[in-house]
Amino acid sequence: MGVVPTTVVNYNTTLQLSGAAPQSIFNGANTSIATSGSNISWAIFVSPLNSQYAFDNINNVTLTQATGSNLSVTNPPSITDGQLVFLIEHTVGSNNSVQTLNIGGDGAGLAFTIALLTVNIIDTVSNSIVTPASRIFTTAGGNEVEFSTAVQDNYYVNDADITVSVAGMPASTNPGTIAFERSGTGTCSACEDNLTYTIPITVPLIATAGTVTLNGLATIKYTLQLNQGNVVAPTGGTVQYAMPVQTNGDTTTVGSAFYNSPFDAASTRTAVITYTCATTEILVDNSYVISGFPTGTTPTEVLGNEGGNLVITRVIPILTANTTVNPVVDSTVGAATATLGSTATIQLNANGDIQNISSTWNVSGSVAPGANSSWLFLNSSFGATIPLTPGVSFTVSGQVNTTGAIRATSIILETTNNRVTGSAVAPKTIIVNQDA
């Protein structure tokens, strides 16, 4: 006796489509027979209505499960042989069922469009091409013809050197006022060596064609060469010669010429020379004076790191000729020994009249009253610590001495410069005497 057969219950699952997409045909929806719990699937093929139509985007048609249906939809990753193919999956329940997909999307569009206006841009500009060389318009109404020059490397175009003519455009296109703006091309959108033109037009209902003509020339850029000159590291210090970076990211080197456009930023023509000194020294803004740059160069000197470095910046103006710079450094002043100066003993008269203490210090610091100074004034302030600034004097005075005897106190000079070292910047005590 063989295996006793058992009864298996199958259920009908019908996939139906609801709605339509323009110029699109759907195939693949049908009824599947399977047991409860089975995974079933359908492939829905969507084709254009005929050869006059085509899909240009995978979202031209959408399929989504309707309310009450239980479907999984895998959208097409691409257009395959002109079709959109959807994978639909379903798990069979315990009853016959109808599963519904809602159709959406704008469907297939015309595979071919009629060119109502073709505009060819004729370029006779030297050392440049125009892009695009042709524009095609398929929709009637207002529009714009836009195109750009694309100069050869190391050239630029100036609007004064370019003539644009719309004489070749049909009257029906009603060309408007020509506008332009500076633009970049290719790999350097910030290199504004080109011009982009915009011409308002009307695209007519009846097909036609026209031409726009560019005449003129592109100009080769001038070169800039920054030589070493006598920029050298001082004894005990260092120097850094920072060369400019060009708009397209190219670096430049000392002694090598590079092209520079009048439309490049000033930073592309900027040299920065930074001097540093030893910790026992101090720099001032004229420690190193640099000349040899073209007329119109913008100079800047900035002290930093508490007098430890001097940043000298030279911004060269827009080039009007090939330019070579030979920096000349005057280091007569140079770096000085950092010091709190050499203030002598201070002698006040009995009336305590003000004495001016001239600056012999070149570092910042403070002046504080010493012991037994209840009668002493610094900058006319009693008992106060005052700032010590290079090149700025301070005053010492006192109350009238009514003690009948000479009296003495002191002031203490200390630097607040955290960089400098050495015995010359050690705290200094200055004696202050007052006559009886």
| 369-391: pLDDT as tens digits | 999 999 999 999 999 999 999 99
pLDDT at 4: 67
Residue 367 identity (one-letter amino acid): V
How much is the pLDDT for 88? Answer: 94
Q: Are residues 96 and 158 in the same domain?
A: no
Average pLDDT over residues 228-239: 94
pLDDT of residue 231: 95
Q: 272-293: string of b/e by CB count within 10 Å (b at 16+)?
A: bbbbbbbebbbbbeebbebebb
Task: Name the band, by pLDDT with cuts 50, 70 and 90, for residue 164.
Answer: very high
Answer whether residue 8 shows pLDDT above 80: no
Number of domains in the chain: 4
Residues 6+ apart with CB under 8 A from 124: 213, 214, 215, 216
- Whether residues 350 and 400 fall in one domain: yes
Has residue 2 been placed in a domain?
no
Within-domain flag for 275: yes
User: Do 226 and 203 share a structural domain?
Assistant: no
Tell me, what CATH number does 366's domain have? 2.60.40.10
The candidate with the shortest Cα–Cα distance to 322, out of 220, 208, 409, is 220
Residue where a domain terminates, one of 336, 371, 387: 336
295 CB-contact burial (10 Å; exposed 0-12 / middle 13-18 / buried 19+):
exposed
CA distance 210 to 166: 8
Is residue 248 located within the same domain as residue 306?
A: yes
What residues form DSSP beta bridges with 430?
A: 411
| pLDDT bucket at 1, cuts 50 / 70 / 90 | low
Helix (H, G, I), strand (E, B) or coil at 207: coil
Supply 19's token pair. Answer: 């709605």
Q: What is the pLDDT of residues 134-160, one digit of tens each?
A: 999 999 999 999 999 999 999 999 999
Q: How far apart are CA 96 and CA 295, in angstroms?
A: 93
Are residues 263 and 278 in contact, defined by beta-carbon separation less than 8 angstroms?
Answer: no
pLDDT digits 0-9 by tens, 56-91? 999 999 999 999 999 999 999 999 999 999 999 999
Q: Report if residue 46 sits inside a domain.
A: yes
* pLDDT value at 324 more than 90: yes
Strands of the 386-388 sheet, one edge to the other: 346-348, 428-434, 407-415, 365-369, 386-388
Same domain, 106 and 125: no
Q: How confident is the model at residue 187 (pLDDT cuts 50, 70, 90)?
A: confident
Helices (H), 334-410: none
If we measure between CA atoms, which residue out of 207, 155, 201, 154 comes closest to residue 178? 201
Three-state DSSP at 160 gives helix
Residues 6 or more apart whose CB falls under 8 angstroms from that of 15 comprise: 29, 30, 31, 32, 42, 71, 88, 90, 99, 100, 101
CB-CB neighbours of 194 under 10 Å? 24
Query: Strand pairing partners for 289?
Result: 330
Residue 341 forms part of a structural domain: no
| 103, 131: one domain | no
User: To the nearest 10°, the Cα dihedral for 47, 51, 52, 53?
Assistant: 20
List the CATH number of the domain containing 182: 2.60.40
Range of the domain at 241: 222-336
Residue positions counted in the chain: 436
Asked, for residue 129, whether it belongs to a domain, the answer is: yes
pLDDT in tens, 30-39: 889 999 999 9
Query: Which of 230, 173, 182, 177 is closest to 199 using CA atoms?
Result: 177
Do the domain assignments include residue 252?
Answer: yes
Query: Of 53, 77, 110, which marks where a domain is finished?
Result: 110
Which H or E element spans position 376?
Answer: strand 376-378
Predicted confidence (pLDDT) at residue 162 exceeds the cutoff of 90: yes
What tokens does 306 get? 């508490």
| CA 16 from centroid of its chain's CA atoms | 55
Per-residue pLDDT band at 114 (split at 50, 70, 90): confident
Q: What is the mean pLDDT of residues 382-402?
A: 95
Judgement on whether residues 75 and 172 belong to the same structural domain of the protein: no
Please determine, for residue 120, whether its predicted confidence score (pLDDT) is greater than 60: yes
Q: Examine residue 387 and say whether the peptide bond preceding it is cis (omega within 30 degrees of 0).
A: no
User: Stretch 109-116: mean pLDDT, rounded?
Assistant: 83
Note whether 299 and 379 are same-domain residues: no
| Residue 5 domain flag | no
Residue 4 lies in a domain: no
Q: Do 212 and 130 reside in the same domain of the chain?
A: yes
Is 232 in the same domain as 208? no
372, 432 Cβ separation under 8 angstroms: no
What is the band of 188 on the pLDDT scale with cuts at 50, 70, 90?
A: confident
Give the pLDDT of residue 149. 95
Answer yes or no: do 231 and 208 share one domain.
no
- Of 75, 110, 145, the one marking the end of a domain is 110
Q: Does 97 lie in the same domain as 15?
A: yes
